[in-house]
Amino acid sequence: MKRILSGIQPSGALHIGNYFGALKQFLALERDNEAFYFVADYHALTSLRDPQALRGYTFDVIVTMLALGLDPEKATLFVQSDVPETTELAWLLTTVTPMGWLEKCVSYKDKVQQGLPAEHGLFAYPVLQAADILLYDADLVPVGQDQKQHLEITRDIAERFNHVYGKGSEVFRLPNPYILETSAVIPGLDGRKMSKSYGNTIEIFEEPAAIRKKVKKIVTDSTPVEAPKNPDTDPLFGLYALFASPADRAEMAERYRQGGVGYGEVKSRLGDAMVAFFEPARERRKEWLAHPERVAEVRAAAADRARRAARTVLDRAREACGVC
Ligand code: TYM
């Protein structure tokens, strides 16, 4: 049994990149492990400045996780800011984090390039993420490829703290990333990584008609219908493969290689497959939305469990560095 931990920012409605890159693994790992999954609202403050929207998305991310089938009895589904111990640990970690490690972070540079102001919260984002992970003695952290560098920095910070204060014993457990090769980077409508900030997403719970409309917009090349196509390099096929049954996937791959399949047909089959895939979750979502008090109960019980786990590690860290 391993400790699993991961988080998702409530900076918008979750999309299929979040699903295949992270949430699907959350579901698989909660079964035989001790899982902690959280809504990273402190992190979202680095890009979202609308309190009502932040509260709304935070609720929506919990509901999305529950609708997709995460079991609140098995996994602890909490909200990051319900565990304020996180920010205290982030400060302890920040005191051993060299500026140079944060300066080389790609996601910081990307976000500043996209026009976000170069603020300290954005710069220190990876230290807060390290606190999230180390606070729960996590063994495995299921994420998409874009989080790999943050995981490396987390390990570096943990090792540094252990080295400075550990006196031969470990203060922090070193976590490992859990990144599946087949879903490390899910492409968006324009072929780049699916991301809210690129405006190329398909949301999990978008209306079926909107899903079909967006799928039609997926960028394809101009290979004619009759020409053979390579399924392994076609992003549209990549998406189809995620949703289709193994038999449908194999058949479509064969037809790609032979030629005679048009992108229009693939898109229409992808739209149908996508809508059908999330249909059961769509139904469960309606039920949770009809009972916000149950969502609040899940959140409160999880906060309790998470805080207890966090306290143990925070006390260990405080003791090690002498702030107690
Ligand atoms: P966030 O909120 O951007 O994304 C949540 C998860 O979805 C994955 N993901 C993708 N995977 C594959 N293809 C894509 N197109 C795609 N888009 C998103 C992300 O890799 C992530 O796993 N910093 C984190 C949140 C966080 C966190 C943590 C994660 C805060 N603290 C501690 C793990 C552990 C983030 O911004 O993820």
Query: Based on the domain organization, do 33 and 149 belong to the same domain?
Result: yes
Query: Based on the domain organization, do 98 and 67 belong to the same domain?
Result: yes
pLDDT > 90? residue 20: yes
**Confidence class for position 294, pLDDT limits 50, 70, 90:** very high
**Confidence class for position 257, pLDDT limits 50, 70, 90:** very high
Query: Based on the domain organization, do 139 and 234 belong to the same domain?
Result: no
Distant-in-sequence contacts of 52-60, Cβ < 8 A, 24+ apart: 54/10, 57/10, 57/11, 57/12, 57/13, 58/10, 59/292, 59/295, 60/10, 60/13, 60/14
Residue 25 has a CB neighbour count (10 Å cut-off) of 22
Q: Is residue 287 part of a domain?
A: no
pLDDT > 80? residue 168: no
Q: Is residue 286 part of a domain?
A: no
Query: Based on the domain organization, do 35 and 120 belong to the same domain?
Result: yes
CATH code of the domain containing 307: 3.40.50.620
Which pLDDT score is estimated for 66? 98
Q: What is the CA(192)–ligand 1 centre distance, in A?
A: 16
Q: Which domain holds residue 136?
A: 3-185+292-321
pTM assigned to the model: 0.96
**Confidence class for position 197, pLDDT limits 50, 70, 90:** confident
Query: Based on the domain organization, do 149 and 256 belong to the same domain?
Result: no
Query: Based on the domain organization, do 153 and 252 belong to the same domain?
Result: no
Which pLDDT score is estimated for 278? 97
Query: Based on the domain organization, do 271 and 298 belong to the same domain?
Result: no
Q: 41-45, 92-96, 195-199: lowest mean pLDDT where?
A: 195-199
Ligand 1 neighbours (beta carbon < 6 A): 6-9, 17-18, 21-22, 40, 43, 129, 132-133, 141, 143-144, 146-147, 150, 185-186, 193-195
**Given strand 176-178, what is the order of strands in its sheet?**
76-79, 34-39, 3-8, 140-142, 176-178
Across the chain, what does the average pLDDT equal?
A: 96
Query: Based on the domain organization, do 268 and 237 belong to the same domain?
Result: yes
In total, how many domains does the chain have?
Answer: 2
CATH code of the domain containing 245: 1.10.240.10
Q: What is the CA(296)–ligand 1 centre distance, in A?
A: 24
In the chain, the percentage of residues whose pLDDT exceeds 90 is 94
Query: Based on the domain organization, do 76 and 162 belong to the same domain?
Result: yes
Which pLDDT score is estimated for 235? 87
Mean pLDDT of all residues in 196-204: 94
